[in-house]
Amino acid sequence: MTASISLTDPDAPAFIDLAVEGVRRLRPYEPGKPVETLEQELGIKDSIKLASNENPLGPSPLALAAMRARLDAVSYYPDGNGFALKDAIARRHGVPMNCVTIGNGSNDVLELLARAFLAPGRSAVYSAHAFAVYPIVTTATGAVSRVATPNPPDAAMPYGHSLENLYHQVDRDTRLVFIANPNNPTGTWLTSDVLHDFVDSLPPHVICVVDEAYAEYVTEAAYPDASAWLERFPRLVVTRTFSKIFGLAGLRVGYGLSHPDVADLLNRVRQPFNVNLLCQDAARAALDDDAHIQRSRKVNDDGLTVLTRAFDERGLRHIPSVGNFICVDLARKALPVYDAMLREGVIVRPVANYGFPDHLRITVGTGPQNQRMLAALDKALQS
């Protein structure tokens, strides 16, 4: 006879009371709505998604070919050390291979950093309006989040990181400082000189994590590649992802660059085989597809120009961005506009959870996608 589980035991404690304190304080991450879900809910077709900062050109053809060539090998475990992928990443950045940690997306590396360095009684520092994963991984460990006030709305980089305010949040309990450059969802960035000086100023018990998920899109001359500073700053960690310009978001693969001793600690908490066989091969191939990277950057540069001009013509303020997205101020609650655009088959991203209830974050698409989005936005604003 099959045993049954009572779901109404009045004497049983609530499950949330059984969880550790950090988990009790968490709220699940809210991803962008998938196209399939929207079309099923509203009974529409041919939707477009400009919500999650994915590459509208899709993956590198070389990456697809590499996966197809390895399909017969999926009955085997992948290389748990990721030797070939780590070697390719190390050569790309000019660092020793033992500086590289591979992850199931760069989010995985951020979580490894939190597990290795945070705990109750310790703290992490990050800016308001910063990437949502920083508070998630910090809270889950039971550590304290120390949130810095960002730049004011009238600054040259409105809502971007204030390095002075970040520095003043650091105390003797701080172990990690998270800085996204460019930042998501604002698209704002820090120049080489100010970021270099900030990292140099941190006390020796603090590790600075520079999240460069969108670095490959940036064309600003003063934008730094922080991985070039690893020898100068042993307490610097740089994270990168294959989810953005490389077009491999669905595979979940990223990496961290750090001092070898930091990488050793991350590998102690890293799950075995955290990056699967096809991901490793696809990512390695994508690194070599310079033509796809250049096409993707060109589409993004052109699209950012079109969108910023279109928002200016409509009198809509927007935050300056060097990523593959732009955050636009609708001067009204954004959620009804977002809902109206869904009915037009266009998915963008409301960002009230980032402290922007009147903004939408819009991924830069192809030319036709951008025009369709603008038409849907115009119709939604009129209604």
Q: Is residue 177 pLDDT above 90, yes or no?
A: yes
Give yes or no for residue 148 having a pLDDT over 90: yes
Residue 317 scores a pLDDT above 90: yes
The gap from C-alpha 133 to its chain's centroid, in whole angstroms, comes to 8
Q: Which pLDDT belongs to residue 29? A: 61
Four-residue CA torsion sign, 313, 314, 319, 321: negative
> pLDDT class for 147, splitting at 50, 70, 90?
very high
Stretch 5-19: mean pLDDT = 66
Reported as a pLDDT band with limits 50, 70 and 90, residue 17 is confident
Q: For residues 246 and 345, give the distance between their C-alpha atoms in angstroms, rounded to a whole number.
A: 25
Whether residue 272 is predicted with pLDDT greater than 70 in this model: the reply is yes
pLDDT the model gives residue 6: 55
| β pairing state of 174-180 and 356-363 | unpaired
Is residue 1 scored above 60 in pLDDT?
no
44 pLDDT above the threshold of 90: no
For the chain, list the domains and their CATH numbers.
32-58+291-382 (3.90.1150.10), 61-287 (3.40.640.10)
- Rounded mean pLDDT of the chain? 93
Q: Is 90 exceeded by the pLDDT of residue 359?
A: yes
pLDDT per residue over 20-36, tens digit each?
Answer: 776 777 676 666 667 77
**pLDDT tens by residue, 346-355:** 999 999 999 9
Provide, for the chain, the percentages of residues in helix, strand and coil under a 3-state DSSP scheme, each rounded to the nearest 5: 45, 15, 40
Q: Is the pLDDT reported for residue 224 higher than 70?
A: yes
User: CB atoms < 10 A from the CB of 261, how many?
Assistant: 10
DSSP 156: S
Are the C-beta atoms of 351 and 318 separated by less than 8 Å? no
pLDDT (average), residues 190-209: 98
Q: How many residues does the chain have?
A: 383
Tokens matching residue 154: 């009238």
Identity (one letter) of the amino acid at 2? T
**Dihedral sign computed on CA atoms, order 205, 211, 216, 220:** negative
The sign of the CA dihedral 26, 143, 210, 161 is: positive
Residue 3 has pLDDT above 60, yes or no: no
Question: Residue 9: its pLDDT value, please?
Answer: 64
Inter-residue contact 56 to 366 (CB < 8 Å): yes
Is residue 221 scored above 70 in pLDDT?
A: yes
The string of pLDDT tens digits covering residues 180-193 is: 999 999 999 999 99
CA dist 65 and 243 (Å) reads: 17
